[in-house]
């Protein structure tokens, strides 16, 4: 709930800033510069609360029965209505832009969790794949990590949208990918360049997370991974040890 709550707080802050700001503009001119609708007392619009009410009504383009002869006030009221539409449009656009980012991150994490399941079940270790297949897999995972990093840098608030399903959580998947990069790069029969690229992608993403979201700088990749896991309340996906027969 942290991510949606942060999103809501930002939208509320935008709206409240506009409402209070324009209320401060209207207040010095109330009630003298305004004409009330028939049956409405002029004294009823004397006060800061009335200015807030007027500002809110202009933001959502609902009339409260007040008119003014001042061209500057008319311009201000029209400008506030435009800002109201701008906030609504920006909020919807921002929301619709965040969810594809979250979907990409969850899809990557789910793919990684399936690889982890395959190894944990003893079906096949990644090192047992043929050279070309493993190289293509590692380069593909590195490319997806780079996409996740770019999207996170563009939409920082998406970090706080946590997953309810462990299979789609990114932090455990990063730990597993870091172990894969370490193990494959140390094997003579595996594509070391692809493993190094994967490890570099993991490190680049961790550096971004560490810089923007974690409270301190850690001395190693593994310390940063453990802190990121703790930040999201997750446990790592660790690679099973190779069997003696292998």
User: 52-89 pLDDT, tens per residue?
Assistant: 888 898 888 887 777 787 888 888 888 999 999 999 89
Kindly state whether residues 170 and 228 are assigned to the same domain. yes
Does residue 125 sit within a domain? yes
**Rg (the chain; Cα; Å):** 27
Q: Which of 20, 8, 7 is nearest to 80 (CA)?
A: 20
pLDDT in tens, 199-243: 999 999 999 999 999 888 888 899 999 999 998 889 999 988 776
Which residues, including other chains, have CB under 8 Å from residue 128's CB and lie 6 or more apart?
Answer: 246
Kindly state whether residues 187 and 135 are assigned to the same domain. yes
Total domain count, the chain: 2
Least confident of 18-22, 42-46, 161-165, 175-179: 42-46
Q: Which two tokens stand for residue 17?
A: 């800033």
Q: Which of 144, 152, 39 is nearest to 97 (CA)?
A: 152
Q: Give pLDDT, residue 125.
A: 87
pLDDT in tens, 8-40: 888 899 999 999 999 999 888 887 777 777 766
Kindly state whether residues 127 and 188 are assigned to the same domain. yes
Q: Which range of residues forms the domain containing residue 201?
A: 98-232
Residue, of 190 and 195, whose pLDDT is higher: 195
Q: Which two tokens stand for residue 231?
A: 């930040």
């Amino acid at each position: 709930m942290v991510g949606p709550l942060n999103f809501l707080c930002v939208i509320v802050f935008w709206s409240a800033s506009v409402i209070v700001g324009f209320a401060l503009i209207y207040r010095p001119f109330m009630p003298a510069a305004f004409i009330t609708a028939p049956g409405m007392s002029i004294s009823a619009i004397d006060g800061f609360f009335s200015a807030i009410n007027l500002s809110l009504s202009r933001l959502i383009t609902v009339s409260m029965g007040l008119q003014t002869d001042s061209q500057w006030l008319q311009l201000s009221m029209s400008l506030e209505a435009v800002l109201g539409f701008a906030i609504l449009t920006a909020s919807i656009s921002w929301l619709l832009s965040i969810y594809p980012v979250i979907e990409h991150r969850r899809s990557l994490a789910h793919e990684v969790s399936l690889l982890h399941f395959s190894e944990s079940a003893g079906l096949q270790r990644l090192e047992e794949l043929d050279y070309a297949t493993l190289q293509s897999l590692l380069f593909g995972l590195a490319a997806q990590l780079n996409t996740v990093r770019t999207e996170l840098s563009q939409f920082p608030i998406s970090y706080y949208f946590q997953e309810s399903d462990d299979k789609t959580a990114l932090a455990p998947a990063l730990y597993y990918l870091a172990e894969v990069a370490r193990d494959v790069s140390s094997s003579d029969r595996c594509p070391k360049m692809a493993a190094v690229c994967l490890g570099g992608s993991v490190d680049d993403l961790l550096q971004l997370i560490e810089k923007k979201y974690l409270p301190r700088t850690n001395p190693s990749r593994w310390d940063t991974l453990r802190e990121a896991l703790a930040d999201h309340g997750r446990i790592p996906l660790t690679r099973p040890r190779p069997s003696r027969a292998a």
